[in-house]
Chains A and B, each alone.
Chain A
């Protein structure tokens, strides 16, 4: 077998840029999908049934579609049907956010539901409004409980961002594949890609483990 590892240092700059885009996609997706997840969770719990129904439809739709399909949909269908067209990066971001918002809303919903009703009642009994009781009493406790789940979601998302490479977002996966097809250095590039994903992903997974340990259910 004829291996030429020099292709790796030669493409270091491009790979680094790809890795940065992967990280940016992960961070931005979570930054958007966490608050959106809380909102959708609240809408699902709404006493106004049509709102709750629509929120449920949203969650069940995007939770049960493969991400790659949502990515294709955002790229090919969204511009035609909704007349919305963005750069590949933003298109990929939209797809990841739709999927992650659905997941996060379920995470938050179970977290919020796990807080005893008595906690809200104690807050109401001292004269707080329902909004205050939720923000000051329920959400902080729910947040702590869902943090380990969010950490796991984060780690999964980091790897799943590679799916947006199919619409030519210049993320790590796409960049590596581009170099591969230009240089025919398949083994070298796949190995480099694996190494970079692993090296970046491992500390995140360890951090998630630590969060699990620190914030795992206590009471």
Chain B
């Protein structure tokens, strides 16, 4: 199935979509991110793994400027993230974000949640936005739930609507912040399947996850965080089968994963 409606083409056409250079983030005296450097190439799926509180989500939130960084640089499509509010909004329109708690708008139906962005931000007509929403709902397997309010959807369904909502902006990058952590075990699969299909379609994705099987199967590049620092990064074969760093192995074995 094809989830990407518009071709995810960058403005510059460069291979590197996101580049993090020595990124530092502080909360008071607490160092949330320290000297984080990594790269995301077009079409890549990058999984960020590591213990809770190790800075994965913070990095994701810095990527679309929901948090500001205190040092280093984040380059999106070769340009440092802007400070100006209007410019930040332009950048955010090119990134989709999926949250741990879905954050669907409870006063809007599934289809209205999806049309919200295109009609408010992109200025699409109601009709065009609705048409786009219907296509996306169908693609995440929820065409029959268009008029349901979030309260009447299961967690897995809500998260699929949230993915469709993010895709409706036709983003170049999708940011997933622990998309399955708040889900019942039996609904995790349906969300991961949608994400897998999205990856197969060539969407550039950064996924903060505790789903190691997903990371192993879908990621092109895996980054291991600990206490705000990257302790190891590489292809999934390296991270999951022959980690170079002992602490990576420790972390994985805590999750019951034996390299």
Contacts and interface: CB of A to CB of B under 8 A. Distances in A.
Given A132-B120, A136-B120, A219-B151, A127 B103 contact: no
A137 B105 contact: yes
Contact of B103 (A122, A128, A140, A144): A122
A127 B117 contact: yes
A141 B12 CA distance: 40
B121 interface: yes
Residue of B85, B95, B121 with highest tally of chain A CB at under 10 A? B121
Given A132-B120, A136-B116, A144-B107, A127 B89 contact: yes
B99 A219 contact: no
B101 A124 contact: no
Contact of A125 (B64, B90, B104): B64
8 closest cross-chain pairs (CB), A and B: A127-B93, A122-B103, A126-B117, A125-B97, A127-B121, A118-B103, A127-B92, A127-B89
B169 interface: yes
Q: How large is the interface on B (under 10, 10 to 19, 20 to 34, 35 or more residues)?
A: 20 to 34
B106 A128 contact: no
| Residue of A125, A132, A144 with most chain B CB atoms under a 10 A cut-off | A125
A184 B101 CA distance: 68
Given A119-B103, A121-B103, A128 B121 contact: yes
Nearest to B97: A125
Interface in A108-130: 116, 118-119, 121-129
B160 interface: no
B97 A140 contact: no
B99 A126 contact: no
A219 B99 CA distance: 18
Contacts of A141: 105-107
A118 B101 contact: yes
Interface of B: 64, 66, 85, 89-90, 92-93, 95-97, 99, 101, 103-107, 116-117, 120-121, 151, 165-166, 169
Contacts of B97: 122, 125-126
A125 B106 contact: no
B89 A129 contact: yes
Contacts of B85: 129
B105 A122 contact: yes
Contacts of A126: 92-93, 96-97, 116-117, 121, 165-166, 169
B121 A119 contact: no
14 contacts: A116-B101, A116-B103, A125-B64, A126-B92, A126-B93, A126-B121, A127-B93, A128-B121, A129-B85, A132-B121, A136-B120, A140-B107, A141-B105, A219-B151
Main secondary structure of the interface of B (DSSP, over half): mixed
A217 to B, nearest CB: 11
Given A121-B66, A127-B117, 5 more contacts: A118-B99, A118-B103, A121-B103, A126-B96, A129-B89
A218 interface: yes
- Grouping DSSP codes into helix (H, G, I), strand (E, B) and loop, the A interface class, with mixed when no group exceeds half, is helix
Contacts of B99: 118, 121-122
A218 B95 CA distance: 31
Nearest to A122: B103
B120 A128 contact: yes
B107 to A, nearest CB: 5
A125 B92 contact: yes
A127 to B, nearest CB: 4
Nearest to A119: B103
B92 A124 contact: yes
Nearest to B121: A127
A132 B86 CA distance: 13
A123 B92 CA distance: 10
A137 B106 CA distance: 9
A71 B74 CA distance: 59
A141 B99 CA distance: 19
Contacts of B96: 125-126
Contacts of B104: 122
Contacts of B66: 121, 124-125
A122 B117 CA distance: 10
